[in-house]
Structure 1
Amino acid sequence: MSEDFESHRCQSGFSSPSDGAGEVPDDPKDWVQVTRWRRAERVRLRGERQEVSVADRQAVGAALAGHLRDLLDDRFGGAHGRVFSAYWPIKGEPDLRPLMTELHHSGVIVALPLVETKAAPLTFRRWTPDTRMVRGDWNIPVPPPDAPLVTPEIALAPVMGWTREGYRLGYGGGYFDRTLAALQPRPFVIGIGVNSAELPTICPQPHDIPLDIILSETGVQGAKDTV
């Protein structure tokens, strides 16, 4: 699917499939409108996510871990010996930390992203179950400065919202897009989200980079090769 078609969907006035969603901007090139709409969608989606019960969050995390394990087995032979960037869950994100431990013990080099320079690409440091974490940007636990720097071959990207074309609605800081634009070679990127966070579009802008695959609690949902 082309980006021109995605822009046409913005102009057509689609709204998000979830109840209470605001209307998508009429003009996808109006950055002021798009920014305002994205901000409102983040608030809505974050509110919905925070309302999910602990038991349901655990079930979603377990389901996602199973699908991710299968994906790594099918596409990367289990990813043994490869650098795999995960994430430390915040704000109700699916918790994949048990899988991180499992992958480490199976021979995967697990890393975590962190902000070491404001408004710059993320850096990645190795993580193990024995790593003594420190507080990073936004008080997110991260590996300490003496943890080895690595370059991911496979990376997870938690999503606030997602589209079938692989586009991601994040938290609005722009760090992940800057990182993908800077990394050479670019890692295979897997968006981690939930079915209820699907959007018809994010009105993609030039700086928005589609992810390789979107994975939810029911499996693969979208991919950039449909763009």
Structure 2
Amino acid sequence: MASPTDAQARRKGYGGPPGVGTANPSALVAAEIAFARMAREKGQWTAFSEYAADDAVMFVPQAVLAKDWLRGRADPSAPVQWQTHQVWMSCDGTVGVTKGGWQQPDGKTGYFTTIWKRQKKGNFRWILDQGDTLAQPLVEPDMLSASVADCDSRHQGPHPEGTIVVEEKSGMVRPKGSGESDDGTLKWTYTVAPDNSRTVAVSMLKGGEQRQVFSLDIAAGER
């Protein structure tokens, strides 16, 4: 299923250290596959913790630091299972987004969106994970689709880090956050309302302008 992204990588010459034109969607697909495999073999929350960046955010349904929420949490007897359907990545390969379907042992189904950041060692760790239930399961496509942002020669230097802020006393994450790739070609935001409903949006550089990839509204009470 990763072959389309492999072919795209060969055509565009991706690979090597982060920089202009080094996006590698197939590496992100491989990270998702390994993540899901660990959840099946070693436990759901064990895998989520292992693949989370230190400042990763998840919603339970309020925004929390994932590592803190996951610490000491027992794995469910049977994990959620998921499959990646779509991938978006910045031109420099430092940030990518995956979206797909999940299935719980109790029969519930839904979708997920996960934002990943490339680490100094070249591996990927997720920095934001969220999803919602669906009345009908997503239909898995015949081939995974991947889209890479256009490169922007005007921005060669690294951009500032995301603006996730943690309240020192409560350990809670503030209800608004944002971030972007080092080259600024992929950006993301989230906003959590007082009732814990939220919006998560992703945009990327295409055709010389920042275009919205998706904006998802999640009802209160959903994780």
Superposed pair shares fold, TM > 0.5:
no
Of Structure 1 and Structure 2, which has the larger fraction of its residues in strand? 2
Q: Which has the higher contact order (CA 8 A, sep 6+)?
A: 1
Q: TM-score normalised to the size of structure 2?
A: 0.26
Q: TM-score normalised to the size of structure 1?
A: 0.25
